[in-house]
Amino acid sequence: MADPSIQRGRKLRRDAPFPERLLWSRLKNSALRGLKFRRQHPVGPYYADFACAEIKLIVELDGDTHGEEVQARYDAARTRFLELEGWTVLRFWNAELLESFDGTLDRIEEAARFLAQRR
């Protein structure tokens, strides 16, 4: 039987919403100058939508439910945990990605370039 965290990651990848699948189509093919991103990568008790371990960058895509107060508090606590672990967390709304796909990729690339230079 597979490790429960591996099973959970597989389920999250299989059930990914369209914006996550769209972004993954670019990140998985080294769209950001050779950096390797992983999908639904476990970090502590959480799963990062996209993570580049080499530069400790996490990219999160948030749907409508993330605007609700309870979910927003959870996301803030989650981000604090990840940042205390040394990760930089970028958050984008699904709608933002869909409205400005290239602009979102540019912002991710800019952050990745900055973090790569610091390491």
Q: What is the pLDDT of residues 35-67, one digit of tens each?
A: 899 999 999 999 999 999 999 999 999 886 655
Write out the E strands in 6-103: 38-43, 46-52, 57-62, 88-93
Phi and psi, residue 33, nearest 5°: 55, 55
In the chain, which residues have pLDDT < 70? 1-16, 30-32, 64-68
pLDDT value, residue 69 = 77
Domains detected in the chain: 4-118 (3.40.960.10)
pTM above threshold 0.75: yes
pLDDT value, residue 41 = 93
pLDDT value, residue 63 = 80
